[in-house]
Structure 1
Amino acid sequence: MDARFNLFENDIASRFAKRFAGAALVLHDSPLPKSVQELVSLRASQINGCGHCVDMHVKEAAAAGESDVRLHLVAVWRETTVFTEAERAALALAEEGTRLADAHQGVSDETWALVRKHYDDDQTAALVCLVGMINAANRLAVITHQKGGSYQAGMFAAVVAQG
């Protein structure tokens, strides 16, 4: 299946993408650890079935030094020993924040307490905004049938730099 629509060739979508990338850059430059950012983005993208974003975040995480073992186990993080308690809190928030329609309560008080135990105000703000941003990115890519496989680490940074 080919992409339905090229968001980068449409004026409105292109202007939106520049602002979206600018917002993503705020999060990228935040004190939230880069490894957590990539793991959270990867997990939400897996849940949402976004091949384009899974491709991007696996490759960005690997380029930043993330291990193959951890990348392979993100989808089953609860059943592993390779993630820290702080990373597990962030992954739980990513899952609960992504699956809002599946739970009447949204993010549980237990998950929120774990997030607050491990992340300061700025990191928490970045984490919450990141979950919202990756879910929006997933939806844009899935709706327009963007495919995974061709992303190369650093491509996003290059596009933002052109700004």
Structure 2
Amino acid sequence: MEARLDFTGTEFAKSYYENMIANEKLFHTASTVPHRTMELVKLRASQINGCGYCTDMHYKDAVHAGDDPERLNLVTVWREAPAFDAAERAALALAEESARLADNPHGVSDEVWAAVREHYDDEQIAALVAMCAQINAWNRVNVILRTPAGFYDPETKTARYQDAKR
């Protein structure tokens, strides 16, 4: 598969991308949400949205940061897996409902919101909400453009799909 457009090859997208990257840096510098939780949120939303590129990226970033690959393999079935603590479960539920807004006319359920409130303070909740919005935006860009999956390198934070064309 080949991407439909060299998105960052356009002037508009370069600016958009720079702003999105600035947001990503903000999550890591100004948020006290654990990095491990951030990657779970991004991974689960990406799975739901069918974004192969982001699913690959956030799985690899989580492993690179020290998370257990077996545990990450259970993200799709997190409700049945004892590998996630209560705070992570609340964040995963928020990620799911944020990716499935069309399934619930009221958006995020009161039950999920109460669980998030139980485990996170206002600053962390603001970061989680922004993170959910951000990953959903990334997913949509990559799904629309059909960005190929499987070539993300967590060491360099770049995709090597140019090599795959050969």
Fold conserved (TM > 0.5)?
yes
> Relative CO higher for 1 or 2, CA cutoff 8 Å, sep ≥ 6?
1
User: Following TM superposition, by how much is the alpha carbon of 1:25 offset from its aligned partner in structure 2, in angstroms?
Assistant: 1.1
Q: Structure 2-normalised TM-score?
A: 0.91
Show the counterpart of 1:6: 6
User: Following TM superposition, by how much is the alpha carbon of 1:155 offset from its aligned partner in structure 2, in angstroms?
Assistant: 3.5
Show the counterpart of 1:155: 156
Show the counterpart of 2:15: 15
Which structure 2 residues correspond to residues 13-162 of structure 1 after superposition, within 5 A? 13-29=13-29, 30-156=31-157
Cα deviations by residue, 1:72-93 (Å, 9 ceiling, x for unpaired): 0001101111100000000000
Q: Which amino acid aligns with 1:13?
A: A
Cα deviations by residue, 1:87-137 (Å, 9 ceiling, x for unpaired): 000000000111000111210111101101101111111100000000000
| Pair 62,28 (structure 1): closer, same or farther in 2 beyond 3 Å | same
Q: CA RMSD in A?
A: 1.1
Q: Which runs of 4+ in 1 moved over 3 A?
A: 154-157
Q: How many percent of aligned residue pairs carry the same amino acid?
A: 50
Counterpart CA distance in 2 for 1:105 and 1:142 is 25
**What SS is found at the alignment partner of 2:9?**
coil
Q: Which amino acid aligns with 1:142?
A: V
Counterpart CA distance in 1 for 2:157 and 2:109 is 32
Counterpart CA distance in 2 for 1:38 and 1:128 is 14
Name the count of aligned residue pairs. Answer: 157
Q: Structure 1-normalised TM-score?
A: 0.93
Counterpart CA distance in 2 for 1:154 and 1:135 is 24
Show the counterpart of 2:162: none
Show the counterpart of 2:161: none
Residue segments in structure 2 that go unaligned for 5+ positions in a row? 159-166
